[in-house]
Amino acid sequence: MSESVRVLFSNLWFPVKTGVVKGCIFIEKGRIGFIGEHPEPEHELSELQYDFQGYAMALHGFSTIVDVVEYPLRRLRVGDLSVLSRDELKTVAEVGLINAVSNGITMPIIHSDHSEAAVEAARELGVPLIVIHGGEARVHGGIHSFTLRNGRLYVDDKPLGPLDDVLCSPLSTRSTCRIMDLRSAGSTPQPLAILHSAGVDAARLYRILTEPYRLIGAGEGYVDRGETADLQVVDLRNPVKASIIRGEEDFWSTASRFTSPDLVLIHGEVVYEKGEYLIKPLRSITGILGKLANRLSP
């Protein structure tokens, strides 16, 4: 994945460590190189420039547990995938990963019996990945790992706590939650919007959704100078996503809708834009699903 293209976002709202601000974001070499009220003259030479005229919000990319190989099979009670070849599993994994990325999940977490296919697909797509497994901790080529031993989760041999305490879902967010499991929600964060109506603070949810970046030391989860440019942007000029942002309270209220993003960047590269999967064209998997259906037919 190339990180050479410079990107300038102007006139949008975003969260920094000290609060929420309106201004510009300059991205260079895969990182946020500058934030401010107005861009510097050299930033206006960026290859990609977007001026949102005050009607957009940027968020750091999310990192949650999602279905990857299992994504097109969710809720179908299909567990045996042994009929599928390695290449077929990887093709299905690509669909699951691209779905996650297009929903702003820029570093998916895999907790699955088919993690090898997910890892292979992620490497080919250039998508950073965290794998929960029972082996030794390892980091290689953007693939990180959390280890699971005796029901407890570890990061670099540092205990996070019992798995059931560390993980939560849109149906249950406890105070000990550090990793959101979206498999029950179709691997998208949109169902989290209902939690705001139940009194769950949007800023707290945002922190949970970016917490894995902090756990592996990949950033603080804010849109701030020096952070990895894993970003998602919601264009509020779209009538169905329109909102009013006058300050921090409006920002988090709008963020609590968990509207699907219009732009997604990984390491500073635009990988999704307004319905177009720039990371890689999706391949049809109907033949693969048909193969499974024939195997499962009575």
Residue-range domains of the chain with CATH: 7-61+221-276 (2.30.40.10), 71-215 (no CATH)
- Is 297's pLDDT higher than 70? no
The single residue listed with the structure tokens 């409006």 is 250
Note the pTM of the prediction, 2 decimals: 0.93
Higher pLDDT pick, 136 / 15 = 15
- Is 2's pLDDT higher than 60? no
* Across 77-92, average pLDDT: 89
Which residues, in sequence order, are CB contacts of 197 under 8 Å at separation 6+? none
Q: What is the pLDDT of residue 175?
A: 87
**Span of 43-57, 178-192, 225-239 with lowest mean pLDDT:** 178-192
Q: At what angle do helices 86-102 and 286-296 cross, to 10 degrees?
A: 120
Place 76 in a pLDDT band, splitting at 50, 70 and 90: confident
